[in-house]
Amino acid sequence: MTTPFVPDDFIVPDGLIHDHFILQMLEPSITELDYQAVMSSRVNLRTIFAENDEWPADDMTLADNLNDLITHEKEFMARAAFAYTVLNTDKTKCIGCIYIEPSNRDNTDTEVYYWLSNDKQHLFNEFEETLKSWLKEKWPFNNIAYPGRSVSWQQWGSRSHSHE
């Protein structure tokens, strides 16, 4: 029997409200906002997740994005992985995403991937600090890995990641 990603009695956070952004479950109702953020940041996203990564493809469609968000919502509801959209405070623009996924690495509970859109990089340090505090305070993980961030892709083994 495999250990569940989070304990059965753990109440998964709905999100987070911050002075400069809001986190909420990544799901189909924000497909267009998410698509705009992903496609406008695609060159940068390919360098964030892994060298030579092909996501998002230049020809990714709105329908492709919708399918990705349906998958993320299903994973969230099944408690298998947790993806959050990062929205501006009035929820009119997607400015990034967070992916909290189980890890199959020894001594690592979870792998966390995140990005902010190109036009919101001025918020990055504050966003990253807030995210790490939120994960430490509100989630049941002891050993969080941040591949491509606190550990380089080369050190991590350039293992591909399904962030789509």
Residue 52 pLDDT: 53
Helix (H, G, I), strand (E, B) or coil at 17: strand
User: Global pTM?
Assistant: 0.90
What are the strands of the beta sheet with 94-102, ordered from one edge?
A: 15-17, 22-25, 82-87, 94-102, 110-116, 144-145
Residue 2 pLDDT: 56
How many angstroms separate the Cα of 106 from the Cα of each of 103, 141, 161? 8, 14, 17
Domain residue ranges in the chain: 16-156
Q: pLDDT digit of tens for each residue in the chain (164 aa)? A: 456 799 999 999 999 999 999 999 999 999 999 999 999 988 888 877 765 567 888 889 999 999 999 999 999 999 999 999 999 999 999 999 999 999 988 889 999 999 999 899 999 999 999 999 999 999 999 999 998 887 777 777 744 444 44
The rounded distance, in Å, linking the Cα atoms of 46 and 27 is 22
Residue 160 pLDDT: 46
Please state which CATH number belongs to domain 16-156.
Answer: 3.40.630.30
Backbone angles phi and psi of 75, in degrees to 5: -60, -40
Cα-Cα end-to-end distance for the chain: 28
Residue 134 pLDDT: 98
